[in-house]
Amino acid sequence: MTKCIVTGAAGFIGSHLVEALLKQGDEVIGIDEFTDYYDPALKRKNIIHLDSSPNFKLIESDIQFLDWQKLLTSVEVVYHQAAQAGVRASWGQGFRAYTERNINATQILLEAAKDAKHLKRLVFASTSSVYGDAETLPTHEGICPKPVSPYGITKLAAEQLCDLYYKNFGVPFVSLRYFSVYGPRQRPDMAFHKFFKSVLQDEAIPIYGDGGQTRDFTFVSDVVAGNLAAASLPEAVGEIFNIGGGSRVVLTQVLNTMEEIVGRPIKRNYIEQAMGDARHTAADVSKARKILGYEPQVVLKEGLTQEWYWVKSLYS
């Protein structure tokens, strides 16, 4: 049995990760602040079924105000999923939340991690947003990151901090750059959740730009598998990995697949392209494949079908 901490435990990816860890018999301390970036009631819903698990303990707190020294006493793995998410909301007034929750909180965690005697791994949830408009597609980890959003800047800064603490103090970090994660429990501000909700309410879905943008969509269970591998394999320490879905899809093609799933035409409302959105993303996952044994299992239609059933149950 491994003792783990998952930050952002009630979030979209965090809650799936906690579930998987409990399923394999680990002891999990979940930490979540339940911020109001989206409805905290949805986050509570994500983990309510885990309350009864004897191996799970939830701490409701801001990462910056916890006694990390004490918390990490016998912890072997930390999965740092907590972050202020969202590309479009990172401009303007909201930016302080991004520096606080993405950079400062990570630095506080790293400071404590460098003195944690039993810590074998700190898995950091990074993002494909660090690449921005990458010149090479699919994009590999060696390409110079050039974020095009303030959000991407803060996540890159946190990732660089992890590397500094690894090189100077031996903090055993691994960074995973997620590519457009989707599936049940997806945040309500994310595209597929919004699209399916609009379908249910018979509204036109908002499409930024011309719909010709491409994304590498990654199903949440594949992301969880990437985390578990990153936490256990010794060769992963100090490395950065892309975690992608294995296929790049044009947005209009995604909408056609959604129409097949829901069994009716989807109304589309084309609006101006959003600031900070990369035009194309595609993950080169050959490094993760080679070192982590990572292999995406869930194809887009199957994953979208699962998300559609979940969205229907959420709003029914």
**Separation of alpha carbons 55 and 96, rounded Å:** 35
**What one-character-per-residue DSSP string does 136-191 give?**
SSSBPTTSPP--SSHHHHHHHHHHHHHHHHHHHH---EEEEEE-SEESTT--TTSH
Assess whether the previous peptide bond of 138 is cis (omega < 30° from 0). Answer: yes
Catalytic residue among 151, 178, 182, 294: 151
The yes-or-no answer on residue 151 being catalytic is yes
Structure letter (DSSP) for residue 88: G
Strands 214-216 and 173-178: unpaired
Evaluate whether 30 touches 6 at the Cβ level (below 8 Å): yes
Give 7: exposed, middle or buried? Use CB within 10 Å, 0-12, 13-18, 19+: buried
Distance of CA 84 to the CA centre of its chain: 11
Measured at the CA of 295, the angle between CA 197 and CA 259, to 5 degrees, comes to: 25
In sequence order, the 6+-apart residues with CB closer than 8 A to the CB of 242 are 128, 139, 140, 141, 177, 179, 283, 284, 285, 287, 288
**Separation of alpha carbons 228 and 14, rounded Å:** 12
Token pair, residue 307, equals 């998300």
What residues are labeled active site?
151
